[in-house]
Amino acid sequence: MIGGVDVFGGMALGLSVALTPTNLFFCLAGCLIGTLVGVLPGLGPTATIAILLPMTFGLPPETGLITLAGIYYGAQYGGSTTSILLRLPGEASSVVTALDGHAMTRNGRGGAALTVAALASFFAGTVATFFMAAFAPVLAIAVLKFGAPEYFMLMFLGLITSVVLAQGSVLRAIAMIFLGLLLGLAGTDINSGQYRYDFGFMELLNGVPFVPLVVGLFGVADILVTLENAVRDEKPPTLHPISSLWPTRKEVTRAAPATVRGTLIGLFLGLLPGGGALLSSFMAYTTEKRVSKTPESFGTGMVEGVAAPEAANNSGAQTAFLPLLTLGIPSNAIMALMVGAMMVHGIVPGPRIMTGQPELFWGLIASMWVGNLMLLVINLPLVGIWVQLLKIRYQFLFPTILTVSIVGIYGVEFTTFDVYLTAIFGLLGYFLHKWRCEPAPLILAFVLGPMMEEYFRRSMLVARGDLMIFIYHPISLAMLAVTVLLLLSIFFPFIQKFRQKAFAE
């Protein structure tokens, strides 16, 4: 019972709000815009929501928030498309999908990969919707138990896990972690106001921009590697024809449990500040490598590497709304924009929304399931259209990819500096490929580094510089114990030999 309305009554109330013609139209519009934003690299849902935010001020509060939410989780669907077909992540949470998704495309299974991504996202979105409806009050209490030490240890555990599960050399993985942390720390120190690693460029005072980094390391670097292979008369990666748009029975058998695991990971990580879709997708991918009997096969076209992160980023994107709706705390930049939208409409986010404005609370939750159904109907027929991209000869395709990427990157801040950065990171990604270094740990460290610094400083302020605060908190202590075990596993001779055998190329 929530504010006098039970869960089933609340969902019925929400559906009555979400299924009105006006809300249906704007939900569809948001989903279509989100899909397009996810497909096109560079723009991203954060910039899109910021641009479209003023246009929703004239709408009723429910309609405006439903539209913005549709853009957000619609981008999670669309971001997988270019990741799978072109290894060019359209959205940050689709970075890890590119690893095995594009490998499936090279193996002629690009259509199946897109279908698996769409079905996994729909399943995760459906589960997340009913999860939010059933456990919103309980989770509001659970999230309060996480303080700065718990958030720091969770992120530190994620980095150590990426080292342990990295393919190939542990030293290379650690080097990628440190490089990502250094890139993430560039910019202005919030506490002291000092400039760090800006090299005299004003454009770096706000930090290294994420979009040029990702497009350079993945998109431009892959183009350079592919062109080099073409010059050497090696087999180009896109010559395999798409055999089918539907996964085989074996692929379904492997994708189904991965989808369930990814959904569960996204449900809980989406609740944490700094979590959401991005951290959920990374954690789901590393979990699949951990539980797999053949971890060395990841990166070569494992369907689990598509299903798990796509399910995780969709469920994580939706449960990220729970801290906002129940506590009034935004868990990421997009949720902060949603707070702004609520404040303009005179709505104070927090627990009182459930009792004072049940139509808004339940209408937004119900619209997520309606939107996920719309996205499934929209995306499955479009799979065949996206696959047609592979029929274009790569000599004509890569200039188009570069042009779209440059336009998208320039359109974010309208500065040529980001274009130059993309070229620099493209060259870096090319050399990382030659040195057999994985860029995924670098990206994870780049994203988590600034947040880890913030939560570490908060912890030190609370404890007055006493590092024992990470031990005094039981949840932090448990995660620290797991982290230590993972670190020891790297240096045990038996484990080291096992890793060398498992990841032998």
* Domain residue ranges of the chain, discontinuous segments joined by +: 4-144+151-242+249-462, 463-505
Q: How confident is the model at residue 262 (pLDDT cuts 50, 70, 90)?
A: very high
* pLDDT tens string 321-373: 877 777 666 666 677 677 777 777 777 776 667 777 788 888 888 888 888 88
User: At 195, which helix (H) or strand (E)?
Assistant: strand 195-196
Tokens of 488: 């020891």
Buried b (16+ CB within 10 A) or exposed e, 339-364: bebbeebebebbeebbeebbebbbbb
- Read off the pLDDT of residues 447-483 as tens digits, 9 standing for 90 and up: 778 878 888 999 999 998 899 999 999 989 998 998 8
Quote the pLDDT of residue 298: 84
Main-chain phi, psi angles of 196, to 5 degrees: -130, 130
Nearest to 94 by CA among 314, 424, 369: 314
**What contacts 291, CB < 8 A, 6 or more positions away?**
261
Residue-wise DSSP of 213-229: HHIIIIIIHHHHHHHHH
What whole-number distance in Å separates Cα of residue 324 and Cα of residue 330?
5
pLDDT in tens, 142-184: 656 778 898 888 778 878 876 765 656 778 888 998 999 999 8
| pTM of the model as a whole | 0.66
Assess whether pLDDT exceeds 60 at residue 378.
yes
Residue 107 has pLDDT above 80, yes or no: yes
* 414 pLDDT above the threshold of 70: yes
Which pLDDT score is estimated for 502?
Answer: 44
Strand 187-188 vs strand 195-196: parallel, antiparallel, or unpaired? antiparallel
Q: Which amino acid is it at 373?
A: L
Q: In terms of residues, how long is the chain? A: 505
User: Residue 410's beta-bridge partner residues?
Assistant: none
Nearest-angstrom CA–CA distance, 114 and 104: 10
Q: How many CA atoms lie within 13 A of 256 on its CB side?
A: 6
What pLDDT does residue 183 have? 92
The pLDDT tens digits for 278-296 are 778 888 888 888 888 888 7
Q: Are 287 and 238 in contact (CB under 8 A)?
A: no
